[in-house]
Amino acid sequence: MRAAPLTNLTGSKERNMKFYDLKEKKHVEVDEGNVVKTRAERKTKNGTQTRYQLIASHDGRKLYKFVGEADFKAAKCKEV
């Protein structure tokens, strides 16, 4: 299953990302200025596993989204 595109479909200059809000039980659009990206690495018996995630702030809550490496690199938000 592919992740949703990181840009909005209207073609406007404003970049929005789509996240799923578990509390509201629906998808919400979050401005890219409210999103940070981070890597989570862990050691396994076969080597190191890297997970890429985007973390958004929406209505006072944090929303998390795991993405692939290509989408992670394409995101223009800051990395923490």
pLDDT digits (tens, 9 = 90+) for 27-51: 999 999 999 999 999 999 999 999 9
Torsion of CA 54, 64, 45, 48, to 10 degrees: 10
Phi and psi for 15 in degrees, rounded to 5? -100, 120
pLDDT digits (tens, 9 = 90+) for 58-75: 999 999 999 999 999 999
3-state secondary structure the chain: CCCCCCCCCCCCCCCEEEEEECCCCEEEEEEHHHEEEEEEEEEECCEEEEEEEEEEEECCEEEEEEECHHHHHHCCCEEC
Phi and psi for 48 in degrees, rounded to 5? -110, 135
